[in-house]
Chains A and B, each alone.
Chain A
Amino acid sequence: MSDKEQTITAIDGKPRTILLVGNPNVGKSVLFNALTGAYTTVSNYPGTSVEVSRGDCEIHGVRYQVLDTPGMYSLLPITEEERVGREILLRERPDVVLHVIDARNIERMLPMTLQLIEAGLPTILVVNILDEAERRGMFFDIPLLEEKLGIPVVGAAVRRRRGLKEIRAAIVGFDTTLRASFGYASDLERDVQRLTALMTADYTIDARSLALLLMQKDEELLALVKDKEEDNFPAIEAALREITFERRVDLNLRISLERKRVCKGLLEGIVRQEERKGRPLAEHLSDLTMNPWTGIPLLLLILYFGLYQFVGGFGAGTVVDFLEGGLFEEILNPWVIDFCQRVIPWYWLKELLVGEYGIFTLGIRYAIAIVLPIVGTFFVAFSLIEDSGYFPRLAMLVDRVFKLIGLNGRAVIPIVLGFGCDTMATIVTRTLETARERVIATLLLALAIPCSAQLGVILGLLSAVPGALLVWTGCLIGIFLFIGLLSAQLMPGERPMFYMEIPPLRMPQPRNVLVKTLTRMQWYFLEIFPLFIIASVLLWAGKLTGALNWLVNALEPVMRLLGLPSETAAAFIFGFFRRDFGAAGLYDLQTSGLLSPVQLTVAAVTLTLFVPCVAQFLVMQRERGWKVSTGILVSVTTLAFAVGWALNRLLLATGMLQ
């Protein structure tokens, strides 16, 4: 044992502390087990429900207590696990922090190393999973990275026990005087200096790091600063407010981007990609999906095969034909109707069960024979695309276009989810940064995003009429962009920047696709089945009381203006209960031969743009308030009929689709 090590043990008397930090799934616990062996304890961190593992080890005669912290992506916590992880970092006053990262994702994980260094924590970087990275042809200049970062860096594959000796040596030989600093853009540096100059209390992390976290709106640290600074706090708070006002950008995003830029510079010359092995196909494909010149054709291919062929052709065509035309129309319906006619003497009950709007002949048939196969095939396609990691790339691809309509790539999440269910997607709009974005996204969801079943039925119906699908798609995209542009003009505001870490593209896992599809179908079926039954009962009651007839008659002049037969009014009334119910109504009209190609196209466009269903309206009201939701309802309804009228005139005047 060296003199230095003996001194360390003798002075402290108690074990020194090593903290393991890093993203989930980077091998922290494998390293924890390798360092501590079998004698470890797992307990909740005091005052929390988050479990933390503790163990002891002795390295070169020096005793250490090792803590395995919960996975965290950044020092700015979002989840309870991250909050506890940061609390451990701040409270335990560790002697060494081992930041474990995945070599394959070094660019995504290095920003947290920078945060740890900025915080003044005694950090050692462990670049783990090197074996896998090397197998992919990635090679690292570890000494150069160490030189650039100014902290010890160890390359490792701890699962194979590679690098453990070096990690132990780095822990024992750690020089606490090491202190690196990374410069950001001058305006940010000025803000940081302004804040650090005002802070006078003693903190467990560096003032520079504290200032950056305050600028990133870290409420917890703001409370800590308030507590510690006492009379000095108002000056800090005022400075912070001024900085936020002057910048007028999302400082959190700005700092993250700046840190990314620094990391990119640090990694120059560090990672060498073996040429002979070439870049993996997934990386090439990933680049192609985000480049507008190749990304848009790829998107069209996905839409063509995933939606048009699979959902529209196979789901709404083959499967619905089999279930609706074969099973229900030829076998089940005649048998059930005949049975009810024979055993039920009351007209009203026969009507309720097997009448025009009967529970079996309408509700159950729509739910099982029309909607379920369509949403089933849609969910298969959706889960396949989702599991491949394509959606984040779509967000990057459409970011530029979305910025024109007052949104950014982040809005891809609610818009994409809207194709599943607009009601749920309306709730997800709360993740958008500004009120302006939330209103625009809610409006576009209510107007131009058809839900899965509606989309499937319409694709199935229109694909049988040459040109109709093209007209419908053109109308929807045109309205989406036009209303988006108009909204962005009428509601001026800032355009928040969009940035996200792009996860790797991968081959969809059959198990994931199957489980996600079945989960979504189960959820959808549980939700729609009772509603379809309730809607049937309401329509039955409406028919018996004459209220439905009155409503159909009231809508007749509107239908006439659109050039549609009066029977189409029923599909619009269905559509207000649920969008998919309305689409199924349209399916019935078309299969009965009541609609010409022009009428079918006009009805499909109007019904897609038509008012949000009851559930979506209620959620809109809750999320955006009465004023905005009523405004959206009125404008969407007016616009739907206005577009339907104009489209009918245009198609008749030009002779298209005739």
Chain B
Amino acid sequence: MKQFLKMAVESLLHRKLRSWLTMIGIFIGITALISIVSLGEGLEVAITEEFSELGNDKLWLAPGTSAFGASASAANLTDRDRKVADSVPGITETVGMTWKNTKIISQDEEEVALVSGYTLDEGANLWDEMFGHMLFSGRWHKSGDTFKAVVGYDYTQNDGIFERGLKLFDKIDIDGQSFKIIGIMEKQGNDQDDQSIYITDDAYSKVFNVRLEDDYKYIVAKTAAGADPNEIAERLKRAIRNDRDLDEGDEDFTIQTTEEIMDSFGTILQIVQVVIAGIAAISLLVGGVGIMNTMYTSVLERTKEIGIMKAIGAKNSDILLLFLIESGMLGLLGGGIGVITGLGVAKATEFFGKNVLGIELLRAYWSWPLILGALAFAFFVGMISGVFPARQASKQQAVDSLRYE
């Protein structure tokens, strides 16, 4: 076996250019596969981390039947629902929030930004728990802070949102009302967070002339320590259903645990990954056909060699094995180079995302199962592609092959 491996390597080296060209198909396929899976896994890890910072003990209550985008017929989520939630045993605190795109002005420069309002009352602790650690400087609101704002990281950068970056205690005009900046968020690495502005429910209602408590986009509820969030979620569901006089199954609201949200993100990511990996697999298939072609050529070229080996005692199985190892090696080598470049591409994307696009969610992630799996797969593709040519080689008659010139 060891000797056969050595012979396969010698043979591949002997036809260097053709070996390289043959490997390209596998190499591209594995590069694509590895970089996509690596970035996908990295994104999943990043999202998981972000959600787990929010805490697994949270319930997310939203209007409509899907957490992503409320349906039109959905009843608003109001203070009444929040009170129901507060009364559910096992829920310790709640906070309501909503957001809106609006016009902002700093030093005569006008922009549009996402302004979020949240309830600053008993729920202030919960808000602080979830977002307190995300502050870069300054503080979150305390009671009595009406026209004060916490802004995302991009506002502090020159040419971030405005030409001149803002500092703590600078003024910013939101929809005609002047706000003082009291807190700056850390860089989160995604535009939505880094370009957000946060104000209190009080200010939100005054500026936009609406009652925040009549139309929450989310109510976040914290469950008691040690309690099972899923169980509390069921309880909350029942309580709101009863309050709204709805039958089971007719809910016009959605409750998700942090874990469920993470899972649904994970599922979407997986689907995307599978689709792209499928495209990469086509490249691998093409690579496999390339290997098959090369191996057929090689069998033909080496007819005489096969005859010689058979004359001096090679069994059919020896010839079969020899050619299979060779095609497997083509796959494995192509795969090996593909793994390295794939990780390189993923790393480069991460670097580009972070430094040029400012997206921190793009992270290259790698694991041994991913790398070994890719190598094994490449080897397998090579072997399978070699089966027919190798069988053809092994079945040649010594006496005919020897005569071949």
A and B interact physically: no
Which residues in B have some Cβ–Cβ distance to A below 8 Å?
none
Which residues in A have some Cβ–Cβ distance to B below 8 Å?
none
